[in-house]
């Protein structure tokens, strides 16, 4: 078998409403952070993979070319990837494939999105277009709406409550308040979260992820050269992918994402581990209900049992399975194309013991990232491990 692939460095722009920064500036900020914190220089890079989910947010067509040029890497091979909100991990998987095949030795993955140049209503319409344009978009279903449909079914089937969903929001806001890269660094109380204005009921404001600007970057290399860049490469041990129907109405089940279950199964099998071996996870909490069903789809909890675990605070950094202790999409922010790469950067730092002490998971050696495009039309699950221990 050919040699493995590792992450040797990560970089991250500050997420938020970044009025003064465009798409290219955010990407540059993330890669600058990577160069400043890792023993990597431009000449080490063989190719780039650039993930941007939407073209309509800032009007720039062909965003990969713009970013590649801004990074001063024009001339090198690049490709753009797009898998809706799972774009970032699609980029990591593409880079992994390039290296694993022997085509390249070191590939830079950049995920970026500039979402706040248009109004929230316009952004909501743009994202709604990622629902089936022919048969479901004509009814005015927003993205929060699709997940609200799932929430209503999960509530009816498993007795999931308002308090459970809000508790996830409270946790994620708490951890974002400790994360200097997060979009909103303000804690919210359970009372505030439970009483917030409805966006797409049963989901309210504090169930929804943020519309954010941001970028993140990782450098992947083949294992045999990884040590040239760092003493502590993070190995990509497992990759799994799954999908589901475009139309929500055609889903076999409305209380889970079948694509996530499949992706998790594949990733665990490839890594030779089970859910019990995972020390922390970053899951795609575009809405609180999405974090709840991820806990079940990934096998951390049986169906219907994740809610009680949330109330018992088992997903805090010192709990049974820490989840989104960076603030998640909910409060760290969700610049679509950047999110999956941001998850990798966060897990790498956690495994190296480099995050803020109030949210550091002690002794973590293996982390899982769960990145969902749309409402399950794309799901990528990756398992990362410290390989120096």
Partner 1 sequence: MSAKFGYVSEESYPAIAKKFAMNIAKKKFIGNKCTTCDKKYFPPRTACEDFHETMEDYPVNNVGELKAWTIIHFAPENMADRAPYAVGIAELEPGIRVLAQIPSLMQKPKIGMKLELQAQQVDAVRFTYKWVVIKD
Ligand X SMILES: CC(C)(COP(=O)(O)OP(=O)(O)OC[C@H]1O[C@@H](n2cnc3c(N)ncnc32)[C@H](O)[C@@H]1OP(=O)(O)O)[C@@H](O)C(=O)NCCC(=O)NCCS
Q: Which residues bind partner 1 (CB under 8 A)?
A: 119-122, 124-125, 128-129, 133-142, 144-145, 148-153, 156, 197-203, 247-250, 254
Q: How far is CA 319 from CA 240, 280, 316, 322, 350, in A?
A: 26, 10, 5, 6, 15
Coil vs helix vs strand at 105: coil
Q: Is 184 in the site for ligand X (CB under 6 A)?
A: yes
Q: Find which of partner 1, ligand X, none residue 140 binds, CB within 5 to 8 Å per kind.
A: partner 1
Task: Please report, to the nearest 10 degrees, the dihedral formed by the alpha carbons of residues 276, 280, 285, 288 taken in order.
Answer: 70
CB of 155 to ligand X, least distance (A): 20
Q: Are 194 and 72 in contact (CB under 8 A)?
A: no
Residue (37 or 245) nearer to partner 1, CB: 245
The residue annotated as part of the active site, out of 85, 154, 183, 208, is: 85
- The rounded distance, in Å, linking the Cα atoms of 183 and 201 is 24
Q: Is 143 in the site for ligand X (CB under 6 A)?
A: yes
Residues 30-69 that bind ligand X (CB under 6 A): none
Q: Is 9 in the site for ligand X (CB under 6 A)?
A: no
H-helix or E-strand containing 190? helix 190-194
Residue (45 or 151) nearer to partner 1, CB: 151
**Polymer length of the chain:** 389
286 is catalytic: no
370 is catalytic: no
CB of 317 to ligand X, least distance (A): 21
CB of 52 to partner 1, least distance (A): 21
Side-chain-facing half-sphere of 352: CA atoms under 13 Å = 20
Q: Find which of ligand X, partner 1, none residue 382 binds, CB within 5 to 8 Å per kind.
A: none
Residues 72-111 that bind ligand X (CB under 6 A): 85
Residue (128 or 281) nearer to partner 1, CB: 128
Residue among 109, 107, 104, 100 nearest 81 (CA): 109
- The rounded distance, in Å, linking the Cα atoms of 35 and 352 is 17
What binding mask, one character per residue, do residues 282-311 give for ligand X by CB under 6 A, x or -? ----x-------------------------
Query: DSSP secondary structure string, 344-388?
Result: HHHHHHHHTT-S-GGGPPTT--EEEEEEEETTTTEEEEEEEEE--
CB of 299 to ligand X, least distance (A): 23
Q: Find which of partner 1, ligand X, none residue 133 binds, CB within 5 to 8 Å per kind.
A: partner 1
- The rounded distance, in Å, linking the Cα atoms of 286 and 2 is 36
Q: Are 256 and 296 in contact (CB under 8 A)?
A: yes
Active site residues: 85, 334
**Where along the sequence are the contacts to ligand X (CB under 6 A)?**
85, 120, 124, 127, 143-144, 184, 199, 205-206, 208-211, 286, 334
């Amino acid at each position: 078998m050919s040699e493995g692939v590792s992450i040797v460095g990560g970089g991250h722009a500050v997420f938020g409403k970044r009025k003064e920064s465009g798409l290219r500036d955010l990407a540059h900020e993330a890669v600058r952070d990577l160069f400043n914190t890792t023993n990597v220089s431009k000449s080490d890079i063989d190719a780039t993979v650039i993930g941007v989910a939407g073209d309509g947010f800032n009007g720039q067509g062909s965003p990969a070319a713009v970013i590649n040029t801004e990074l001063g890497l024009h001339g090198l091979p690049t490709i753009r990837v797009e898998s809706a909100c799972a774009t970032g991990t699609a980029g990591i998987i593409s880079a992994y494939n390039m290296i694993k095949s022997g085509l390249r030795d070191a590939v830079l993955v950049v995920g970026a999105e500039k979402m706040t140049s248009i109004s929230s209503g316009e952004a909501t319409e743009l994202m709604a277009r990622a629902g089936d344009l022919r048969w479901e978009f004509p009814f005015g279903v927003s993205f929060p709406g699709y997940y609200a449909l799932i929430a209503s079914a999960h509530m009816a089937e498993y007795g999931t409550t308002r308090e459970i969903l809000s508790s996830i929001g409270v946790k994620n806001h708490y951890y974002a308040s400790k994360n200097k890269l997060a979009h909103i660094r303000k804690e919210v109380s359970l009372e505030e979260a439970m009483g917030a204005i409805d966006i797409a009921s049963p989901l309210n404001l504090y169930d929804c992820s943020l519309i954010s600007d941001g970028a993140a970057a990782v450098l992947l290399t083949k294992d045999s050269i990884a040590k040239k860049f760092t003493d502590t490469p993070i190995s990509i041990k497992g990759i799994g992918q799954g999908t589901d129907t475009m139309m929500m109405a055609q889903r076999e089940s409305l209380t889970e994402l079948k694509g996530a279950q499949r992706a998790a199964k594949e990733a665990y099998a490839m890594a030779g581990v089970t859910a019990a071996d995972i020390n922390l996870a970053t899951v795609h909490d575009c809405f609180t209900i999405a974090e709840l069903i991820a806990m079940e789809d990934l096998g951390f909890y049986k169906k219907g049992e994740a809610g009680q675990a949330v109330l018992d605070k088992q997903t805090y950094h010192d709990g049974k399975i820490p989840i989104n202790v960076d603030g998640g999409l909910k409060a760290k922010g969700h610049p679509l194309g950047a999110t999956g790469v941001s998850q990798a950067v966060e897990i790498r730092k956690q495994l190296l013991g480099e995050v803020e002490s109030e949210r550091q998971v002690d002794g973590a050696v293996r982390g899982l990232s769960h990145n969902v495009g749309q409402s399950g039309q794309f799901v990528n699950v990756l398992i990362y491990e410290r390989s120096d221990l």
